Amino acid sequence: MRVVFAGTPEFSVPCLEACRASGAEVVAVYTQPDRPAGRGRKLTPSPVKQAALGAGIPVEQPETLKTIEARETLAAYRPDLMVVVAYGLILSRKVLAIPRLGCWNVHASLLPRWRGAAPIQRAILAGDTESGVDLMQMEAGLDTGPVLLERRTPITREDTGGSLHDRLSQLGAEALTEGLRRAMAGESLRAKPQPEDGVIYAHKLEKAEARLDFSCAAIALERQVRAFDPWPVAEGDLAGENVRIWAAHALDENHRGTPGHVIAAQRDGIDIACGEGVLRVTSLQRAGGKRISAADYLNARPELRGAR
């Protein structure tokens, strides 16, 4: 089976490796053009491009797939199947029709919930207790295609955007491996249409969403902190200083404090009054500094110890 793989971020790399390990022939990799990154804003290849070059696979980086030239280049690879994992470009009907078996997509949610750009973080923000990956037969709509295979995983209160990302990335590779194995054995995978009810869109993350509003319930703020680790990282005012908050958990406690005020501070955490409950901050970062524990922060601000 001749496979063209399309993906860009680190999330996609295990699926690229699954394609290579399956016995299929990965004839080309499509990925986003190199983008400026880091303090020097140097053009940097995507994680998928780096993996493809390391494996000696031809790489294509078109700005768009809407041109005739781009479609002719894709068709010249004579793909039986195109596998798309967080690629970043919309595929038109003309592109979807090029591979003999169409295009498969690995999506990081249990469809139709959380179609769109940021399903992992939106699931945590919403307080979902379960997530997963769907291997989907692509069609022209945004994440609307029928589901071929599914893998599920619980979301715990210890999960962050980063930990759930990594777990779903591996589950996606497992689902893709099974799909490729069965397809290469001549099996036709049953495509299950998505339900019409329960459609929710996971809109792209905005950095402004990471600002904590302590008039909200502590459990909602805990979810923000978890969802936005490792990006864009929650931030808020702590006793007059703006800090990034890397880790915190909600306490179901009554208090008389004004939301946003520190009501207790000890080595195991700094307690901030919320509109409902208390948020205990355990890991944070000062401007220009590195991530530190609450105990280290209190060493720098001893006046907060024992706050009431």
Structure tokens belonging to residue 199: 């459609």
Q: What is the pLDDT of residue 307?
A: 66
Q: What global pTM score does this model have? A: 0.96
In eight-state DSSP terms, residue 192 is: B
pLDDT greater than 90 at residue 153: yes
pLDDT greater than 90 at residue 248: yes
Annotated binding residues, written as ranges, equal 109-112
Lookup result for tokens 């940021």: 118
Residue range 23-79, pLDDT digits in tens = 999 999 999 999 998 888 899 999 999 999 999 999 999 999 999 999 999 999 999
Structure tokens belonging to residue 280: 């205990």
Residue range 25-37, pLDDT digits in tens = 999 999 999 999 8
Residue range 134-143, pLDDT digits in tens = 999 999 999 9
Burial degree of 296 (CB within 10 A; 0-12, 13-18, 19+): middle
- What sign results for the dihedral spanned by CA atoms 20, 25, 31, 33? positive
The count of residues in the chain is 308
Residue range 156-214, pLDDT digits in tens = 999 999 999 999 999 999 999 999 999 999 999 999 999 999 999 999 999 999 999 99
Q: What is the pLDDT of residue 37?
A: 86
Q: What is the pLDDT of residue 308?
A: 59
Closest CA to 116 of 197, 194, 202: 202
Span 245-256, average pLDDT = 96
pLDDT bin (cut points 50, 70, 90) of residue 86 is very high
> Could you tell me the domains of the chain?
2-202 (3.40.50.170), 207-304 (3.10.25.10)
Annotated binding residues for (6S)-5,6,7,8-tetrahydrofolate, written as ranges, equal 109-112
